[in-house]
Structure 1
Amino acid sequence: MSDDLYYDEDTETAMEKIKRLFYEHKVVSAGVGLTIAAFIGASYGVRTGRREFAQHMFRARVGFQFFTLTALLGGGMFYDKKRKEDRLMLEQNKVALLDQEKNA
């Protein structure tokens, strides 16, 4: 998470959290938007009797849902790895600082 996106979990409302997460995870947000658009397109196709169009939109919806799920899992794995690297670096800095204090 970048430093310019500061938030306070105690005072953050549910809508603010949703907005923040949509801005932080742009690929997932795009997948959700495409899924919703495909669903709306499919419902339009069903209402207007355009069966082939509706079928294409239903298939696109499934594809966009897969894309969104993949983005969620990939982002989770990426941020987990990044968090572990940050923790390791923090531990190394603490050890180095303690060594400096002992030698001083």
Structure 2
Amino acid sequence: MSDDQYYDEETETALDKVKRLFVENKVVSAGVGLTIAAFVGASYGVRTGRREFAQHMFRARVGFQFFTLAALLGGGMFYDKKRKEERLAIEQSRIEQSRMVALEDDKNV
């Protein structure tokens, strides 16, 4: 979905919303990927007996989860503000169009 394409919140499914949010906020996608990579690394460390490596990976996973959560919150606030501005612009253009139609109707009367 492109940035300039409008979406309908009422008909958007939960899966569509998750997909859209991942595309909109690339930092969250990176955080999720890093979290998964750290978890896989920790699993590998546990299976191979590399305790120190596994411990580092578990700690990295927690850090990446915090990073992802911060990106979700920050991105959510940013995109919420952006959507409100877009809705306001759309509403203002609708009002302007209705005024233009009303002026045309007055001229024709």
Q: CA offset at residue 18 of structure 1?
A: 8.8
Corresponding residue number in structure 2 for 1:92: 92
Corresponding residue number in structure 2 for 1:61: 61
Number of aligned residue pairs: give it: 99
Structure showing greater radius of gyration is 2
For residues 93 and 71 of structure 1, do their structure 2 counterparts lie closer, same or farther at Cα, with a shift above 3 Å needed?
Answer: same
- State how far apart, in whole Å, the 2-side matches of 1:89 and 1:19 are: 25
Q: CA offset at residue 26 of structure 1?
A: 2.4
Q: Deviations over 1:73-93 (max 9, x none)?
A: 122112211111011111211
- State how far apart, in whole Å, the 2-side matches of 1:18 and 1:87 are: 18
Q: CA offset at residue 48 of structure 1?
A: 2.1
Q: Deviations over 1:41-82 (max 9, x none)?
A: 112222222222111111100010011111111221122111
Q: Deviations over 1:1-35 (max 9, x none)?
A: 6268799xx8x8x6xx4994444432222111111
Secondary structure (helix, strand or coil) at the match of 1:2 reads coil
Gaps of 5+ in 1: none
Q: Percent identity?
A: 71
For residues 34 and 97 of structure 1, do their structure 2 counterparts lie closer, same or farther at Cα, with a shift above 3 Å needed?
Answer: same
Q: Which runs of 4+ in 1 moved over 6 A?
A: 4-7
Gaps of 5+ in 2: 105-109
For residues 87 and 5 of structure 1, do their structure 2 counterparts lie closer, same or farther at Cα, with a shift above 3 Å needed?
Answer: closer
For residues 78 and 18 of structure 1, do their structure 2 counterparts lie closer, same or farther at Cα, with a shift above 3 Å needed?
Answer: closer
- State how far apart, in whole Å, the 1-side matches of 2:93 and 2:38 are: 49
TM-score of the superposed pair, with normalisation by structure 1: 0.73
Written as runs of structure 1 = structure 2, the 5 A alignment for 1:1-104 is 2=2, 17=16, 20-21=19-20, 22-104=22-104
